[in-house]
Amino acid sequence: MNSLTPGQSMSTRLNRRQALKTMAVASTAAVLPRRMTAETATQQVAGRDVEIQITVVSPHTFRFSVLPIEKGKPTFVPDDGSLVRSDWGVPLLTLRDAFKKQTANCGKTIVEIVPEPLECIVTRNSGEFVQRIKINRANGIVSFPSGNSPLLGLGEGGPQFDRRGSTDQMRSGQGGYKLATHGGRVPIPWVIGTSGWAMFFHAPLGTFDFTGTEAIFQPPTVEEALPLDIFFIGAGDPTIIMSEYTRLTGNPELPPLWSLGYQQSHRTLASREEVLTEAKSFREKKLPCDALIYLGTGFCPSGWNTENGSFSWNSNVFPDPKEMLDQLHRDNFHVVVHSVILSDKLRGSVHDHCELPSFDEEQAGCYWGAHRKDFAMGVDGWWPDEGDPLDIASRLVRNRMYWEGPQIDRPNERPYALHRNGYAGMQRYASFLWSGDVYSTWETLKTHIPIGINTGLSGIPYWGTDIGGFVPTPEFTAELYLRWFQFGAFCPLFRCHGRNWKLRLPWGWNTGDPGPMEISRYEGAAVPDPSQLHNPQVELICHKYLELRYRMLPYLYSAVRECTLTGMPVMRALWLHYPDDPKAVARDDEYLWGRDVLVAPVVEKGASTRQVYLPGGTWYDFWTDERIEGGREISRNVDLEIMPLYVRAGSILPLGPVKQYVHQESDEPLAVTIYPGADASFLLYEDDGRSFNYRKGEWMGVQMSWADSQRVLILELANGSRMRAPLRRNLEVKIDQTRRQVEFHGKRIEIRL
């Protein structure tokens, strides 16, 4: 994968000499006909002479560019760091002067450029209409039909779920759109038409208006309308759409395994004793946890450091930080600390030379250098906060900095950073994202299901929320906390955080102590009623979902690995696997966890039932093993312990032993449950969870295949992988009431059940 440094220039047009030089390396040369140029009179858009280009990126994707001409040459498209390449090959079609309709074969699609009105019409090779992109010559406004099926994507936040009917100014940060319920905004101009197309608007920035039958993309001003640079994907298969997006913006990197465990966040800290005692409590109570996160002083009276932007420890609670970090590590916790950027711009990279005496807070090398003393002391990860004013390039510089910076000092250790801001391409840096300072309301919980889905569809797979909501309100009860906790157990980022922070502890609802009073500066904030603070049931239910999360890690880690290879998110819209089912495509209150598990969070106060739509086929209730025919909506009874989960027939679900932290050793076998009714396959992925050695082939893949009619399970080592120590795996295979103990040594075996 080739990553670009934000700030580098990128040309979207090759002159004839450049074209000759790069013709041999054009990735799609096999599908390109001869290059066509029409010449007679100048083309104009937004009052400027322009050149129109069509460039084939792959058999499914082409680039449509309208570039202003200056001094006889088309201008560059400024590089914001989102794309993985600056050169996408030789333009297939170049139009600068007057022309009649031009047609180009772009692999799986046919593209027609019509001069009046200026349109790019896309059809499949079969002749089926896909999309029509119209450019207003006077002002550069782009329009295209909204269609009759949902429009998805567009990043984190904003109006949900189907973007039709909304207007989005694509503002970044916590002021982007309805912070209390919808959270922060990470706008990504990536529009998915669930009828079989997608577009990435690389340039310019602008506003989307989906309120009419014709969607409109409007640049800020006529002067900023050019250059126009759109990547268009025409594919009926959603998996191809997602893989093409990664072709453009990069594959997600693999995070450390511990980051997929439970992360407990803290606010105002009382003392050294409180910090260490709370960590001990997790282990004594057998509540699985992998990371302890500490907010900085500046956003609370007493955090890990001295003030916002500081990397000096607060001696009131961390008087001996190295010794305390060592103790937390001995207790098998990773430590993540909060950091606040003080600059509104970042540039360069961590590899640029920067001496501290000449400190420049806008230079990434200097900024990362300020972290290194604490990192050397034993800090395991970072929580970069703030940054709303950062422009796109700076956001991506910051994301990249927290990926590449730690590798300077720990070159074979996967870094971890939890961000509040980013953009297309942030997945290349294994960036985690949380949704910001949301309020503790039922509406917020409900809204965050489609937000999580659209975030995943926008190429950001490692996403989560402040479980329970950041700002407590009168609605913040034990019930809301538990429903949010259950949802969080099925988000890639599983993390509790918020004001009155002790109520974010799994046992915090049975102590009578909500933690330091932190409800100022937020309208509508309130401390929960004291009657809510003596509920022993909360810890028991949290315990259940913590253990379930850790048992599901073999399945989850395998799904994360798949994501890094294909771009398929972990939280998956039903559309990704049921694109021909309109009810599934439109469903915004449930999602698939990987390929096979359907998750239906409970988001109604006092709910005793949950309506769940099951796509066509057979499904199994995860809790009861009841077999249910899909293609319909069902009503599932729920109590406070149950969040409905269903497993698709034709699935193989591996569950590991209960662990207190991800790397805890266990002699218990891996439980492999087969859900019959169709053939099934599953690739169980395993590596050391820490290093980059998997890139060198040091990983294990157990390919599991189920032949339903023969009732035979085949286990074999995946191509390119090897057995990891210990050189055997003990499995307990279960189907219906049948159980078999199996020992796998890497050689192909067949198990009849």
Query: What is the residue type of 748?
Result: R
> If we measure between CA atoms, which residue out of 679, 647, 415 comes closest to residue 552?
647
1 within domain boundaries: no
Looking at the structure, do residues 191 and 293 belong to the same domain, yes or no? no
Query: In the prediction, which pLDDT does 360 show?
Result: 86
> Tens digit of pLDDT for each residue in 527-576?
888 889 999 999 999 999 999 999 999 999 999 999 999 999 999 999 99
Q: Which two tokens stand for residue 102?
A: 């031009």
d(CA 31, CA 435): 42
Looking at the structure, do residues 675 and 747 belong to the same domain, yes or no? yes
Alpha-helix residue ranges (DSSP H) falling in 331-469 = 364-369, 372-377, 392-409, 442-457
> If we measure between CA atoms, which residue out of 385, 434, 424 comes closest to residue 81?
424
Q: Is the peptide bond before 252 cis (omega within 30 degrees of 0)?
A: no
Q: 111 Cβ partners below 8 Å, 6+ apart? A: 54, 62, 64, 93, 103, 104, 120, 121, 122
Q: Which two tokens stand for residue 536?
A: 């022993």
Low-confidence winner among 229-233, 314-318, 519-523 (lowest mean pLDDT): 519-523
Which of 182, 203, 236 is at the close of a domain?
Answer: 236
602 within domain boundaries: no
> Tens digit of pLDDT for each residue in 322-339?
999 999 999 999 999 999
Angle between helices 537-551 and 553-566 (to 10 degrees): 50
Radius of gyration of the chain (CA): 26
Looking at the structure, do residues 158 and 64 belong to the same domain, yes or no? yes
Question: What is the 8-class DSSP label of residue 89?
Answer: -
CATH value at residue 400: 3.20.20.80
663 within domain boundaries: no
> Tens digit of pLDDT for each residue in 600-620?
999 999 999 999 999 999 999
Looking at the structure, do residues 522 and 404 belong to the same domain, yes or no? yes
246 within domain boundaries: no
Burial of residue 744 (CB within 10 Å: 0-12, 13-18, 19+) is buried
Question: In the predicted model, what is the mean pLDDT of the chain?
Answer: 93
Looking at the structure, do residues 417 and 386 belong to the same domain, yes or no? yes
> Tens digit of pLDDT for each residue in 85-100?
988 999 999 999 999 9
Query: What is the residue type of 24?
Result: A
747 within domain boundaries: yes
Looking at the structure, do residues 227 and 269 belong to the same domain, yes or no? no
* pLDDT of residue 21 exceeding 60: no
CATH value at residue 115: 2.60.40.1760
Looking at the structure, do residues 197 and 338 belong to the same domain, yes or no? no
Question: ∠458-462-463 over CA atoms, to 5°?
Answer: 80
Q: How confident is the model at residue 521 (pLDDT cuts 50, 70, 90)?
A: confident
Q: Which two tokens stand for residue 687?
A: 């590596």
d(CA 303, CA 291): 16
555 within domain boundaries: no
d(CA 652, CA 752): 15
* Contact (CB, 8 A) for 570 and 593: yes
622 within domain boundaries: no
Looking at the structure, do residues 392 and 522 belong to the same domain, yes or no? yes
Which of 535, 570, 592 is at the close of a domain?
Answer: 535
Q: Which two tokens stand for residue 732?
A: 């307990």
CA 278 to each of CA 282, 295, 390, 421, 502: distance values in angstroms, whole numbers, following the listed order: 7, 15, 36, 30, 10
Looking at the structure, do residues 47 and 140 belong to the same domain, yes or no? yes
Q: Which two tokens stand for residue 528?
A: 């929960």
> If we measure between CA atoms, which residue out of 120, 76, 91, 66 comes closest to residue 228?
66
Range of the domain at 689: 669-752
Looking at the structure, do residues 206 and 266 belong to the same domain, yes or no? no
d(CA 435, CA 450): 12
> Tens digit of pLDDT for each residue in 354-402?
776 677 889 999 999 999 999 999 999 999 999 999 999 999 999 999 9
Q: What's the predicted TM-score (pTM) here?
A: 0.93
> If we measure between CA atoms, which residue out of 392, 503, 355 comes closest to residue 83?
392
Domain count, the chain: 3
382 within domain boundaries: yes
* Contact (CB, 8 A) for 161 and 148: no
d(CA 300, CA 295): 8
Q: 119 Cβ partners below 8 Å, 6+ apart? A: 112, 113, 132, 133, 134, 135
Question: What is the 8-class DSSP label of residue 527?
Answer: P
CA 291 to each of CA 217, 265, 325, 552, 623: distance values in angstroms, whole numbers, following the listed order: 42, 8, 12, 18, 28
Sign of the torsion angle spanned by Cα atoms 616, 618, 624, 626: positive
CA 32 to each of CA 58, 89, 452, 530: distance values in angstroms, whole numbers, following the listed order: 10, 10, 39, 70
Mean pLDDT of 38-55: 86
CATH value at residue 674: 2.60.40.1180
Query: In the prediction, which pLDDT does 331 show?
Result: 98
Which of 184, 201, 236 is at the close of a domain?
Answer: 236
Looking at the structure, do residues 470 and 360 belong to the same domain, yes or no? yes
* Contact (CB, 8 A) for 706 and 680: yes
Instruction: Return the SS3 of 148.
Output: coil
Instruction: Return the SS3 of 211.
Output: coil
Q: Which two tokens stand for residue 736?
A: 């219906």
Query: What is the residue type of 465?
Result: T
Q: Give percent of the chain with pLDDT exceeding 90.
A: 90
Mean pLDDT of 510-519: 89
Looking at the structure, do residues 307 and 204 belong to the same domain, yes or no? no
